Amino acid sequence: MSHLVIVGGSDAGISAALRSRELDSSTQVTLIVEDAFPNYSICGLPFYLSGEVPDYHQLAHRTHAEITDAGIDLLLEHTAQAIDPSEHQVTVVDGAKQLHQLSYDRLVLATGARSRRPHIEGLDLPGVFLLHSMEDSFQIQHYLTSHPVRSVLIVGGGYIGLEMADALTLRGLAVTLVEHGKSVLKTVDPSLGALVRSELERHGVVVHTGIGVQQIVPDEAELCVSGTGAYGARTDLVVVAVGVEPRTELAQALGIELGTQGAMRVSRTMATSIPDIFAAGDCVETWHRVTARSTYLPLGTTAHKQGRIAGENAVGSERLFAGTLGTQVVKVFDLVIARTGLDDQEAYVAGFDPLTVSETYWDHKMYYPGAQSVQIRLTGDRTTGRLLGAQMAGAVQTEVAKRIYTGTRKVDRSMR
Amino acid sequence: MSHLVIVGGSDAGISAALRSRELDSSTQVTLIVEDAFPNYSICGLPFYLSGEVPDYHQLAHRTHAEITDAGIDLLLEHTAQAIDPSEHQVTVVDGAKQLHQLSYDRLVLATGARSRRPHIEGLDLPGVFLLHSMEDSFQIQHYLTSHPVRSVLIVGGGYIGLEMADALTLRGLAVTLVEHGKSVLKTVDPSLGALVRSELERHGVVVHTGIGVQQIVPDEAELCVSGTGAYGARTDLVVVAVGVEPRTELAQALGIELGTQGAMRVSRTMATSIPDIFAAGDCVETWHRVTARSTYLPLGTTAHKQGRIAGENAVGSERLFAGTLGTQVVKVFDLVIARTGLDDQEAYVAGFDPLTVSETYWDHKMYYPGAQSVQIRLTGDRTTGRLLGAQMAGAVQTEVAKRIYTGTRKVDRSMR
């Protein structure tokens, strides 16, 4: 009986575990999870912090029982400390600091990402939080319920920053959002970013762009935030969400080759540069279908698909990861913004000769009751006429999400 | 200068006219329209009759000025009475019953469809209406505003019958729907039809299936409707919506070859069997992409695309109509039902070895605020594994429409 050891219990790790057992039930699968929350949706944290998901257990895609019933050995609150690839051994530390040696035949590294820590003084102060893990959200939740918090300043106008601005406004806080770039949501073009900004402001969020936050200093019960351009603000809470970076300490110690933005380099079979070690998810490079190159694009849907491929190949298959289109959808209050493929700048960098056009469309026939407009930007290649990417923005009712992405999720037995 | 004459001013005719002028502005284009409503959306009639579209002019996709500004000669309230293909002449009757001769180099027949008249006694009684044209809807609207109508009986549980049940309920009438088949919306499988029935009943519509209406008899101010199985009902108004049939009198007089369900046989260039005569829209057979055969599937989107091809080829191109997938979406109160491709029965008839599976999915992650379920049926071919078709049903918010069909419509200059 061969033994598959998987490090990491989020989307990629769980997918790898389930897929390997599905294909080969003779394989012993051990999943090492550093916290007590395997297969939780970290994408759902803003909805927990808004109060819309009252019980954090609802964020679990599966229960412990469902995972172990699939024949997976779950080692919760265990940390993989070292890996010896020549001996095929993993050194694991349990919650009581005891060391254990696990032998593996194949290994999947699904160590994920962590919040990027920007160069801001005061990041470790009480009331200042990064947001990536379940534990982060518990700390924020605890702080919010144990302190008289009325205002929050969010550093970063990307997906998480925007979702948190929405969530904490819904929770009744006065929200300020500070973004270093010239517009919010830099993953879409500035004209769509401007729509997002209007939507934030329409809901009372104060938005500052072009400001680099430099320092957070406590002053009585408040926090003083200062930044470039003589920026200054006082707030009760600071949430820093300026992106993520791959967690690759284990991989680096092993000598696994790294690539773009420090993510592990993997083949399209999700194999690393070390034999018998696969990797998947937010810790690895991602094959992009449009550029036919690797990039770093940490997304839950991608992690899930890569994990499946890693799990499948770890039990002897030779499947290739089909690659990502970088499809992303975010809702900010009543506005939905979606993108897929490349934008103009990305297309240019990838060596295309891009042309991007913008147009306003109706979501229904114009006479249709409640018809609303949708902004669409399309990027194509002048040389070949090939469609390279699309961006859209529209009210929730305009079904923008499903104009870009048609996926659905199966309702399983327990109908959670 | 060559002369293109187009008979019919709905989707196919207008598309043909606009496309031909777009490609060749030297072509003279004359559009013969039998009523005063070129390029009106007959799909929008239920929304006019519900009151949601208060002014019927809103149903016009374009104004007269926009059509004539494109260089199209509009002959409104003119009827093409006869065509002489050897002389390349059309005999036209104007509103004053005067005859005119028009010479053409190329001709596009876009004569559309008409309501099918079922074998029901009493169809011509006051208070009994078919619904297909603008004129039909004006007559219904006039009747509704000039009579004390409280109840309506709709014959036919297809798209139009269902939309009218929704529309007239919204208008405040007590609605009864009588369908000949065992379930409503026979274009989807009975399990989805059952969801539609529940949605109708949830909104107070009385639904009778398996009943063939045979007779309508006036009794005092009411209409007595009787049918198979000793069915009897009293109502103030009857709307009959049992489908459409192609209008091909002109084509038949010319000797144009007919095909499925009496629709004109056309090549994929939209050419008829007579030289220099093209045809498009609800009066022709439609090439189906999945079966690679012709069928009769009168839909506005198809008519539009076929019209473009006919117009393009009438000025010298050789474009092929790509074919239809039969994608259809209908909203009944708060439920959206969509389909594309083939269902099990159609697949069987087309010579496939079909398997249809049914599943319930979430529209969002299950924890997501307001997540709702979507019913999905997929039909595949057992022999090849090919996906042949899909059917879905879900609440409006589940974006079912855009899970099946991603189209949008450009907002033009006038932003109607």
pLDDT in tens, B51-95: 999 999 999 999 999 999 999 999 999 999 999 999 999 999 999
**Which of B43, B365, B403 lies at the smallest CB-CB distance from A409?**
B365
Selection from B298, B36, B14, B339 nearest residue B191 by Cα: B339
> For the residues A109-136, what does the mean pLDDT come to?
96
Is A362 an 8 Å CB contact of chain B? yes
With cut-offs at 50, 70 and 90, classify the pLDDT of residue B10: very high
Q: What is the β-pairing status of strands B293-295 and B128-130?
A: unpaired
Angle of helix A300-314 versus helix A11-23 axis, rounded to 10: 30
Per-residue pLDDT tens for A35-90?
999 999 989 999 999 999 999 999 999 999 999 999 999 999 999 999 999 999 99
Q: Which of B41, B58, B361 sits opposite A410 (nearest CB)?
A: B361
Q: Determine the pLDDT at residue A407.
A: 59
Token digits for B266?
A: 């056309």
Task: Indicate yes or no: CB of B367 within 8 angstroms of CB of A44.
Answer: yes
Q: Quote the tokens at residue B328.
A: 């259809």
Q: Which residues in chain B touch residue A170, judged by CB atoms under 8 angstroms apart?
A: none
Q: Is the pLDDT of residue B300 over 80?
A: yes
B348 touches chain A (CB under 8 A): no
Specify whether A283 is catalytic: no
Q: What is the pLDDT of residues A357-372, one digit of tens each?
A: 999 999 888 888 889 9
Q: Taking CB atoms and an 8 Å cutoff, what residues of chain A touch B376? A: 408
Q: How far apart are CA B38 and CA B25, in angstroms?
A: 21
Is A57 part of the contact surface with chain B (CB cutoff 8 Å)?
no
Burial B83-105 (b: 16+ CB within 10 A, else e): bebeebbbebbeeeeeeeebebe
Percent of chain B residues topping a pLDDT of 70: 97
Which positions in chain A touch B364 (Cβ < 8 Å)?
Answer: 409
Q: At A267, give phi and psi (nearest 5°).
A: -75, 175
pLDDT in tens, B243-261: 999 999 999 999 999 999 9
Range from B78-92, B114-128, B293-307, B397-411 carrying the lowest mean pLDDT: B397-411
pLDDT band at B416 (very low <50, low <70, confident <90, very high): very low
3-state secondary structure of A379: strand
Q: How far apart are CA B137 and CA B129, in angstroms?
A: 9
Task: Return the pLDDT at B240.
Answer: 98
Q: What is the per-residue DSSP string for B196-217?
A: HHHHHHHTT-EEEES--EEEEE
Out of A3, A28, A36, A43, pick the active-site residue.
A43
Q: Residue A38 class from Cβ within 10 Å (0-12 exposed, 13-18 middle, 19+ buried)?
A: buried
The model's pTM is 0.88
pLDDT band at residue A414 under the 50/70/90 scheme = very low
Nearest neighbour of B362 by CB, restricted to A47, A376, A411: A411
CB contact under 8 A, B366 and A411: yes
Per-residue pLDDT at A249 exceeds 50: yes
pLDDT in tens, B103-135: 999 999 999 999 999 999 999 999 999 999 999
**In B, which residues are within 8 Å of A359 by CB distance?**
410-411
Report the percent of chain A where pLDDT is more than 70. 97
Q: How far is B92 from B17, CA to CA, in rounded Å?
A: 18
At residue B269, the pLDDT reads 98
Contacts of B232 (CB under 8 A, 6+ apart): B224, B225, B226
pLDDT tens per residue across span A296-347: 999 999 999 999 999 999 999 999 999 999 999 999 999 999 999 999 999 9
Within 8 A of B44 by CB-CB distance, chain A residues are 365, 367-368
Looking at this protein, which amino acid is placed at residue A216? I
Tens digit of pLDDT for each residue in A260-279? 999 999 999 999 999 999 99
Q: How far is A299 from chain B (nearest CA, A)?
A: 15
Q: How far apart are CA A275 and CA B395, in angstroms?
A: 49
Q: Which of B340, B396, B399, B416 to mutate to test the interface with A (most CBs of A within 10 A)?
A: B399
CB proximity A41 to B under 8 Å? yes
Candidate from B362, B401, B416 with C-beta closest to A399: B401
Q: Does the structure's ipTM exceed the value 0.90? A: no
Does residue A413 sit at the B interface (CB-CB below 8 Å)?
A: no
Who contacts A96 (Cβ-Cβ below 8 Å, separation ≥6)?
none
Query: Which residues have C-beta within 8 Å of that of residue B65, sequence separation ≥ 6?
Result: none
Provide the pLDDT confidence category of residue B1 given band limits of 50, 70 and 90. Answer: confident
Task: Say if residue A400's pLDDT is above 70.
Answer: yes
Which residue in A43, A363, A415 is closest to B408 by CB distance?
Answer: A363
Residues of A with Cβ-Cβ distance to B367 under 8 angstroms: 41, 44, 47, 53, 58-59, 416
Residue type, A49: L
Q: Which two tokens stand for residue A176?
A: 């300020």
Q: What count of CB pairs under 8 Å joins A to B?
A: 94
**What is the overall mean pLDDT for chain B?**
94
Which of A367, A375, A392 should be substituted to probe chain B, the one whose Cβ sees the most B Cβ atoms within 10 Å? A367
Cβ contacts of A376 on chain B, cutoff 8 Å: 408
The answer to whether residue B53 neighbours chain A at the CB level (below 8 Å) is yes
- Closest partner residue to A408 (CB to CB) among B58, B367, B374 is B374
Predicted confidence at residue B364, as pLDDT, reads 87
Q: Is B361 on the interface with A (CB under 8 A)?
A: yes
Q: Give the C-alpha separation, A299 to A282, whole Å.
A: 7
Alpha-carbon distance A391 to nearest alpha carbon in chain B (angstroms): 14
CB contact under 8 A, B44 and A376: no
